Amino acid sequence: MGNIASALTLQPDEAALIAELQAGSEEAFAWLIARFHQPIYSLLARTVHDRADAADLTQEVFVKVFRGVGGFHGESSLRTWIYRIALHEASNQRRWWMRHKQQEVPIEQEIGGDIHCGSSLKLKETLIDPGESPFDMAMHEENRARVEAALSQVPEPFRTTLILRDIEGFVYEEVAEIQGVNLGTVKSRLVRGRALLKAILEGARSADAALARRGIEATLREEAR
């Protein structure tokens, strides 16, 4: 593969990278994992019910990328294709989670500790993201926790649309391609999702939150037609 990895770091040549991947280059695949592992992990951690599943799902995404790259013909960018695979895995995980919801363990549940010292360990304390994305590093820990908590209350598919556009930085057309919808649907979901997220963050109890939720319900009815 020569110096392709260092060259791609400075000025990505996607066609060359894809060719190397399809040729079975271990070096190219290692570069791909190094480049996309953290963004994909962060995306999955925000879109599945149990953040503890994000690491395993991230590995599964790259297994499918490795197995499927031979059939990739450049209909979209490589980045968009990888994110579509990741969201498909997240969707499958959410369906599985709904079927097994009765087995859910509360995040506040104590799972260990020293009873003699009166200390305890809660499940949520073991689910810490090992790395931070640029989005995470740009905000204070307390504010980040508030945003993450509020984002988790935004229903799908609005939450994923917000993550792809406002956190991951995809342009509207890429978001539409990843989600398999038209551009108007993406823009509508963003407007509704942002309104509800803002209402949640501001602690709205009635008017704003109710209005945002009605807007989301109206959007879903329109999409269902």
Q: Give the CATH number, domain containing residue 27.
A: 1.10.1740.10
Q: Are residues 135 and 95 in the same domain?
A: no
Residue 116 lies in a domain: no
pLDDT tens digit string along 76-124?
889 999 999 999 998 888 887 676 654 555 555 565 555 455 556 665 5
Least Cα distance to 43 among 142, 131, 146 occurs for 131
Range of the domain at 200: 131-225
Q: Are residues 75 and 171 in the same domain?
A: no
Q: Is residue 45 part of a domain?
A: yes
Q: pLDDT at position 11, please? A: 39
Q: Domains in the chain: how many in total?
A: 2
* CATH assignment of the domain containing 145: 1.10.10.10
Same structural domain for residues 8 and 95?
Answer: yes
**pLDDT for 10:** 34
pLDDT for 119: 58
The first and second tokens of residue 47, run together, are 């879109």
* Residue with token string 């599985």: 96
- Among 200, 186, 182, 135, CA closest to 157: 186
Shared-domain flag, residues 89 and 156: no
Q: Which of 51, 80, 101 is a domain's end point?
A: 101
| 43 closest CA partner among 149, 150, 153, 161 | 161
Q: For position 148, what pLDDT does the model report?
A: 86
Q: Which of 101, 121, 145 is the last residue of a domain?
A: 101
Indicate whether 219 belongs to any domain.
yes
Note whether 223 and 183 are same-domain residues: yes
| DSSP per-residue letters across 137-156 | HTS-HHHHHHHHHHHHTSPT
30 with 76, same domain: the answer is: yes
Regions of the chain where pLDDT drops below 70: 1-12, 97, 99-141, 204-225
Give me the pLDDT at residue 37, please. Answer: 94
Rounded Cα distance between 9 and 198, Å, is 37
Answer yes or no: is 123 within a domain.
no
Same domain, 139 and 96: no
The answer on 81 and 146 residing in a single domain is no
* Residue 160 and residue 82 share a domain: no
In a domain, 33, yes or no: yes
Q: What is the pLDDT of residue 8?
A: 41
Calpha distance 113→119 (Å, rounded): 6
Report if residue 88 sits inside a domain: yes
Q: Establish if 221 belongs to a structural domain.
A: yes
Q: Which of 60, 85, 101 is the last residue of a domain?
A: 101
For residues 206 and 144, membership in a common domain is answered with yes
Q: Are residues 92 and 169 in the same domain?
A: no
- For residue 85, what are its two tokens? 């695979």
**Is the same domain home to 1 and 74?**
yes
Asked, for residue 26, whether it belongs to a domain, the answer is: yes
**Whole-model pTM above 0.95?**
no
